[in-house]
């Protein structure tokens, strides 16, 4: 079985026993194979994306009117039979008259951007003693937070009303509970304080909240500010802007 088929069989869960064990060992020892697997997963996800499906339908229609039936059949057979040729389909359709307009005006799904870049902040293991007024409340809050029980974690974080650490993590809890206005309020408190360890993270999550709410203009402004700073998230902000602009 060749490499491409192996990857497809692995992702589809069709490998088992010795074959599966050998493939997983090869994945660990071969960074390129690991990258190929990740790419395959991303392409498969893209093919399921509604925006991509709609775009592909438009492109198929355009191709049908621009090429002979025999040519279309050949393209469909040759280009779509394996995942790694999906990119080649884009290269082909770009040369068909008028298709660049479709591509350049099709926005990258904000939902996919959020999926790619959003992860809840890791719980801190220690809190600076200067911030601790109620050690038990912090312990309970982070205990629930680590269990992804954001509702109960929030109850304890909110008892530490003016604590910067609690404010930041309450913002994450509000995101997970889809209470975005309250999350923004928590992060604004952190940002306005300025003298704390969470400012850069709060700014980053604010940008992601704008994406979650499909507020593209606000997201662009936020990520442009981050990209021009010396923030840890500057490079990731630049990547997001490539999709938004």
The mean of the pLDDT values for the chain is 77
The pLDDT value given to residue 103 = 41
Q: Which residue has the higher pLDDT, 97 or 228?
A: 228
Q: Which residue has the higher pLDDT, 234 or 128?
A: 234
The pLDDT value given to residue 14 = 77
Average pLDDT for residues 142-161, to the nearest whole number? 94
CA neighbor of 145 nearest in space, from 118, 183, 117, 174: 174
Average pLDDT for residues 35-49, to the nearest whole number? 67
Angstrom distance (rounded) from CA 109 to CA 115: 10
CA atoms within 13 A on the CB side of 241: 17
Q: Which residue has the higher pLDDT, 71 or 37?
A: 37
pLDDT value at 73 more than 90: no
DSSP state of 101: H
pLDDT value at 132 more than 50: no
- Pinpoint the alpha helices (H) of 67-109: 69-79, 86-94, 99-104
The pair phi, psi for residue 161, each rounded to 5°, is -50, -45
Confidence of residue 124 (pLDDT cuts 50, 70, 90): confident
Average pLDDT for residues 47-58, to the nearest whole number? 56
Angstrom distance (rounded) from CA 111 to CA 132: 37
The pLDDT value given to residue 171 = 97
Domain ranges in the chain are 3-107, 114-244
pTM: 0.56
pLDDT value at 32 more than 90: no
pLDDT value at 245 more than 50: yes
Q: Which residue has the higher pLDDT, 47 or 124?
A: 124
Q: Which residue has the higher pLDDT, 151 or 46?
A: 151
pLDDT value at 224 more than 80: yes
Average pLDDT for residues 192-201, to the nearest whole number? 94
DSSP state of 106: S
CATH number of 114-244: 1.25.40.10
- The DSSP-derived string for 25-73 is HHHHH-HHHHHHHHHHHHHHHHHH-HHHHHHHHHHHHHHHHHS-HHHHH
Angstrom distance (rounded) from CA 13 to CA 149: 31
**3-state percent helix, strand, coil for the chain, nearest multiple of 5:** 75, 0, 25
Q: Which residue has the higher pLDDT, 12 or 196?
A: 196
The Cα-based distances of 166 to 134, 162, 180 in angstroms read 11, 8, 17
Q: What is the pLDDT of residues 159-191, one digit of tens each?
A: 987 899 999 999 999 999 999 999 999 999 999
């Amino acid at each position: 079985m060749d490499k491409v088929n192996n990857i497809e069989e692995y992702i589809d869960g069709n490998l088992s026993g010795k074959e599966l064990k050998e493939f997983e060992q090869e994945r660990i020892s071969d960074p390129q194979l690991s990258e190929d697997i990740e790419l395959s997963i991303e392409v498969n996800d893209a093919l399921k994306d509604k925006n991509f499906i709609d775009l592909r339908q438009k492109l198929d229609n355009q191709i049908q009117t621009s090429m002979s039936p025999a040519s279309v059949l050949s393209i469909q057979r040759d280009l779509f039979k394996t995942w790694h040729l999906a990119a080649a389909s884009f290269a082909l359709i770009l040369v068909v008259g008028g298709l660049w307009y479709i591509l350049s005006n099709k926005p990258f799904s904000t939902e996919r951007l959020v999926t790619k870049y959003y992860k809840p902040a890791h719980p801190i293991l220690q809190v600076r003693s200067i911030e601790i007024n109620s050690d038990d409340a912090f312990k309970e809050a982070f205990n629930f937070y680590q269990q992804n029980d954001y509702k109960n974690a929030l109850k304890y974080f909110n008892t530490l009303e003016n604590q910067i650490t609690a404010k930041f993590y309450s913002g994450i809890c509000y995101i997970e509970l889809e209470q975005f206005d309250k999350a923004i309020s928590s992060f604004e408190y952190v940002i306005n304080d300025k003298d704390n360890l969470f400012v850069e993270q709060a700014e980053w999550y604010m940008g992601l909240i704008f994406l979650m709410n499909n507020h593209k203009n606000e997201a662009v402004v936020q990520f442009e500010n981050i990209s021009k700073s010396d923030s840890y998230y500057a490079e990731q902000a630049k990547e997001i802007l490539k999709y938004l602009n």
